[in-house]
Amino acid sequence: SDVCSSDLEQTLRGIALGLSGKHLAERMNISPNTVKVYLRLIMAKMGVAGRGEITAKLLSSRAEPGWKPRNTDEGGLQRDGK
């Protein structure tokens, strides 16, 4: 089955918060192996090789036009209202 984009977004927010794969799996009610799959998908989509690069891209993207904080308790990011 296809991975829901909201699952990837939630995984991305967890990475930005510095959550471990285990903690993220517990919060999302999925297995740690599923988190690993999501991480590989995110890395492929972003063209990066690891969590550090994901975080660096997220931080640098905050300075780009069109990015604004999302009103969530997790401090996620949102682009152009999406």
For the stretch 8-63, pLDDT in tens is 999 999 998 999 999 999 999 999 999 999 999 999 999 999 999 998 888 887 76
- The reported pTM is 0.70
DSSP E strands, 11-82: 67-69, 77-79
CB 28 within 8 A of CB 11: yes
Which whole-number Å values give the CA distances from 77 to 1, 11, 12, 22, 33, in the listed order? Answer: 26, 12, 9, 22, 25
